[in-house]
Amino acid sequence: MIECMSTSIDIYPTTNYIPLVEETRQRTQELYQQLLDSHGIDSTVEVKALHPFRDGEEIRYIDPTVRWDLHLGVTFAYWVNGTWAASSWPCMFERERVTHFEVEDYEQLGPEYGYPASMLGELIPVEDEFDIQLSPEEIKLVNSQDHCWSDERNMGGHAVSSIGYGFVAAALAEETAGRISSVDCALPEGHSGETAEQFLTWWGDSQLSFYGTRRFQ
């Protein structure tokens, strides 16, 4: 793990369920508190879902009835014992589709560099993003969805958000039967493509071991 890198964790759903932002916020907070409790850390974590804001602007909370949306900006702010510690920025976005550029690369450079004209406008399929071998049916479910989520922590970010953004990913994966992935080394080798259940068996403990408990006191 490299604390000074800015990294993101992606969530590929396998259902068309779009959860409430509040569902994700609440579950993220629950998972985080469970981690601290399991390690005997006598601290309270709160996760708050906010609209993005600049310094000096009024803080606006996201209404509990709002569902994730492609155009919704979200900040998940982490408070420890009543004091803001850090933030991460989960977002829902549309998966890329095959354009004329990919078709040209296919025709000029070969199949490994693009896609045929027959796929123009179709979703670029998830093929080799995962370390874990998914069955053809599982891959089909992933590729049936035209959206996904990603959460990012800042370069040199606080330990609180560096742990928390993984719990955001786990919460979203639980809610959408999704697969958790990363293309920028946010996850150790061998873990990309895990379910939320698989991810949660190691994420919190390994991150807390890496960062230590002092920042939660």
Q: What are phi and psi of 12, to 5 degrees?
A: -105, 110
pLDDT of residue 169: 98
Q: H-helix or E-strand containing 216?
A: none
Closest CA to 215 of 1, 53, 62, 3: 3
In angstroms, the Cα distances linking 16 to 45, 142, 143, 155, 176 are 30, 10, 11, 32, 7
Q: DSSP E strands: which ranges in the chain?
A: 7-12, 45-50, 75-80, 83-88, 91-94, 147-153, 179-181
Whether the per-residue pLDDT at 214 is higher than 60: the answer is: yes
pLDDT, tens digit (0-9, with 9 covering 90-100), for 4-29 = 457 889 999 999 999 999 999 999 99
Position 139 scores a pLDDT of 93
Q: Tally helices (H) and strands (E) across the chain.
A: 6, 7
pLDDT in tens, 115-174: 899 999 999 888 778 999 999 999 999 999 999 999 987 766 789 999 999 999 999 999
Residue pLDDT, tens place only, 29-67: 999 999 999 999 999 999 999 998 777 778 899 999 999
pLDDT band at 88 (very low <50, low <70, confident <90, very high): very high
pTM of the model: 0.91
